[in-house]
Amino acid sequence: QHSALYIFPRCELLFHESKIEEKNQWPNTTRVTIHYNCYTHLEEEKYCSKVVKTRETSMAEEWKDKVIQEKLGGKKDWTDEERAELCRQLDEELESHIDAMGKTRYKGGWTEENWKEQMAEHPLFAPYIQEEGATQAEAPINPLSEGLAQLKFDPDHNTPEEVAQNYKEEGVLQFKYKKYRLAVANFSEGLKQKCSDYDLNAQLHNNRAAAHCHLGNYRSAIKDCEKAVELKTDYLKAVVRAVDCATKLNSWDEVFHWCDRGLRLDPTNQKLKTDRLTALKEKKLLERNARKMARDENKKATEEQNLINAIKNSGVQLGSTVLKGSSSISLSDLEPCHPAAQGSRVHFNESGELVWPVMLLYPEHHETDIIQEFPESDHIIDHLEVIFGKEAAPAPWDTEHKYQVNNLHVFFEDKEKTKLCKVDPNQTLQQVLRDPRYHVLGGTPG
């Protein structure tokens, strides 16, 4: 899990090394090799000599014992001169051995061509080249960074507080580079340490909340702020952050709650007061809009109900294509099915009378006409005049111009008796509709 965490060069690394030296451990050869590779090219002499020197000393110890065994047959009592002589011998042998290791040119170093890439990959120099969206799995696992990361976050070598502190710093760095997901991961790791420093944990929560904010995870951010304030009750920063997140979520009640908490800590805080006012206004607006909508809906419902009642009471019978047992009619039953009549459903006009869309059928030619607005009190003949009168052009299908006002017979169909009933055109629509044999289908008298 540490692999994706890049670390910036710091002097501490040297101390970590020295720690290892003190403990006289050489955990594994790989690590040793890493240090060699890592530092020989930087400041060859300084690091190389340091490492080599310590190696020297321990190796020298080994050799000493070895030589003592081999050459001197386990002799233990020495004079000073003999000791000095032996030392000198051993030194010479060591020198020649090292010389024999070859003064080959260091091959693993960076060349002219690839030094930029190498540098980019190297944890000591790498800026954060990782793209924002890349997940941890995709990050190239640089063994150098892995090693360094292990050093830093190894619980064996550090106290929980130190590890948590390191994670926190790491996360802050990520944050500065806008790598918010990595920052969150770091802060989470820091919190996993469950160290006993409440302040530090509170800061970790607060920082994680900030990172979540930038990622747009306002809900998670608020949760973190809550934890932060739990740990540190006067944490005004966390409270203010929670207010901002709640504002972004338009969750006004939460804004009030957090503002109240903040104003308890700092009653003079103008920002919190302003935020609270904004929240108050927004909430009032919301409530008022909800009330208005409710009122409009109610109004609409009552109007519809009135219309239906008026139709029922007027004696007009509504038929329907589907047999329904219920006596209640809804407005959808009155929606006209005919495409030309769409949108002109029966309604009240200004004088309070019903206005219907009326369909005229011409069975001879299988044609229909729609009169979109036919007030009940109008006489049928008036509308026929308009359509078939002297001024009006004959209908396109009326080739013989047979359809003239005086010639017309108007009927309606009695659905039950499947009979045609004659209609006196001098009557009003109202009178026709109230004929007990007449049913209005599809909201459109036909």
Under the rule (CB under 8 A), what is the footprint of other proteins? 260, 263-264, 267-268, 273, 276-277, 281, 284-285, 287-288, 291-292, 294-295, 298
What's the closest the beta carbon of residue 279 comes to other proteins, in angstroms?
Answer: 12
Nearer to other proteins among residue 117 and residue 287 (C-beta): 287
Helix axes 49-72, 80-100, angle to 10 degrees: 120
| Shortest Å, Cβ 355 to other proteins | 25
How near is the Cβ of 263 to other proteins at its closest, in Å?
A: 4
User: How many CB atoms within 10 Å of residue 446?
Assistant: 16
Distance separating alpha carbons of residues 149 and 147, to the nearest angstrom: 5
> Residues 188, 212: contact at Cβ < 8 Å?
no
The C-alpha atoms of residue 60 and residue 230 are separated, in whole angstroms, by 58
Closest distance to other proteins from the beta carbon of 226 (Å): 16
Measured CA to CA, the distance from residue 69 to residue 74 in angstroms comes to: 5
Minimum gap (Å) between residue 300 Cβ and other proteins: 14
User: Which residue, 264 or 437, is less far from other proteins as judged by CB?
Assistant: 264
Q: Which is nearer to other proteins, 260 or 304 (CB)?
A: 260
- How many whole angstroms separate alpha carbon 383 and alpha carbon 395? 15
- Beta carbon nearer to other proteins, 154 or 287: 287
Shortest Cβ 259–other proteins spacing (Å)? 9
SS3 441: strand
CA pair distance 26, 47, nearest whole angstrom: 16
Single-letter code of the amino acid located at 80: D
CA separation for the pair 185, 170 (Å, rounded):
10
From the CB of 260, what's the least distance to other proteins, in Å?
7
Rg for the chain, CA atoms, rounded: 47
Provide the β-strand partners of residue 441. Answer: 319, 444
| In the complex, minimum distance from the CB of residue 301 to other proteins, in angstroms, rounded to a whole number | 13
Within 10 Å of residue 348's Cβ, how many Cβ atoms? 13
**Position 283, amino acid:** K
CA–CA dist 240, 256 (Å, integer): 12
The residue (of 255 and 360) whose beta carbon lies closer to other proteins is 255
For residues 211 and 259, which CB has a smaller minimum distance to other proteins in the complex?
259
- DSSP assignment string, 173-211: HHHHTT-HHHHHHHHHHHHHT--S-HHHHHHHHHHHHHH
Closest CB to other proteins among 91 and 296? 296
Least distance in Å: CB of 315 to other proteins? 32
The Cβ of residue 139 has, within 10 Å, a number of other Cβ atoms equal to: 17
Nearer CB in complex with other proteins: 212/276: 276
CA atoms within 13 A on the CB side of 432: 27
Closest approach, Cβ 269 to other proteins, in A, equals 8
Nearest distance from C-beta of residue 295 to other proteins, angstroms: 5
Q: Which CB atom, from 283 or from 338, has the smaller least distance to other proteins? A: 283
Q: Which is closer to other proteins, CB of 66 or CB of 284?
A: 284
Give the integer Cα–Cα distance in Å for 163 and 330.
Answer: 71
37-75 burial code (b ≥16 CB/10 A, e <16): ebbbbeeeeebbebbeebeeeeeeeebeeeebeeeeeee
Facing residues of 370 across strands?
Answer: 359
The token pair at 124 is 């000591």
- Closer to other proteins by CB, 71 or 292: give it: 292
